[in-house]
Amino acid sequence: MSNTKNLCTLSDYSYINQALAMYSSVRNDDVLLHYLCLDDKTFQKINSFNFKNIKAYNINDLLEKDDNLVNLKKSNYNYFCYSLAPYFLNYLLFNNKDLQDITYIDSDIYFHKSINFIFDEIKNNEVGIFRHRHLPLNLNNSDGCFNVGVVYFKNTKPARDVLGWWADAVLHKKYPFLTTCGDQKYLDMFPFLCPQNSLFIDGKIGHGAPWHWQLYDYSKFFEDGSIIWNGEKQKLIFSHFSKFRFDKELKSYTPSIIYYNYTPLEMYSKNKELNFIYSSYFSEIQKISKELDL
């Protein structure tokens, strides 16, 4: 097996700017991004760049091999899109036996520090997930206790078993009590499915999102890029820019079109650290869009 870290993401053309911003933020030459393209325009564009660290996949190739996926796309397109993260992860591990591991990353994730911080924290754990920090772990809620933005699996039988369960359950809409948030609430079962002491949850990885920003103390942020959560100083490694909207022509953006019940809209402008985080992200999107003619 090689030492290459395998990542995967997926998007249609409406999220290609964010996906390539995510890729540029990884800060690790020893990675391969497996990019599932949900339309021909995205597939053709990604292939046109000839990036040595990106391998493009066309959704049509997956659809041709699985009638269940075809039927799901016809019946509920939104849910079909939700199903693709576990499906694509499972597809990659099943068809690439030489992969050491695979990490799913939502296209609207951005890394402020090297992704190696995450791998160094996960160490020998089989599976890695990240909390919804605004919710107690023992609270049953429709969104789930964990966020599906970053999910890690080693290429071992215990991890493949968990991933296979997730992919199958989502594709076939099993366990109705877990169908309340696409593929995400299924992660609540991981602590029960993973062998003892094989599941990584959060560690010392600081991670931001519209539902998290109000939880943090930013007094050390401009010193070393850290946030303080529950009295613990952590490097802010990545952020989930969920529901971020931008207009390249007007050179403007909206930090999040929902979630204001967690982080009020005015906080994005009044908090200088948060303003810096979002302005920097938008600048990166503008830069990539211009350089790659998106």
CATH value at residue 78? 3.90.550.10
| Three-state DSSP class for residue 88 | helix
d(CA 270, CA 84): 37
% of the chain surpassing 70 pLDDT? 99
With left for phi above 0 and alpha for psi between -120 and 50, is residue 224 left, alpha or beta? alpha
* Residue from 126, 118, 137, 124 nearest 238 by CA: 118
| Three-state DSSP class for residue 197 | coil
Boundary (domain end) residue, out of 169, 201, 233: 201
Q: Which pLDDT value is given to residue 2?
A: 61
What would the pLDDT profile of 137-172 be if each residue is shown by its tens digit?
888 899 999 999 999 999 999 999 999 999 999 999
Same domain, yes or no: 158 and 231: no
| Tally of domains in the chain | 2
Please give the mean pLDDT across all residues of the chain.
95
* Amino acid, res. 53: N
d(CA 136, CA 104): 24
pTM value is 0.96
Q: What domain range is 284 assigned to?
A: 207-292
Residue written as token pair 């160490």: 123
Same domain, yes or no: 177 and 221: no
| Three-state DSSP class for residue 102 | strand
Same domain, yes or no: 138 and 171: yes
d(CA 104, CA 100): 14
% of the chain surpassing 90 pLDDT? 91
Residue 1 has pLDDT above 50, yes or no: no
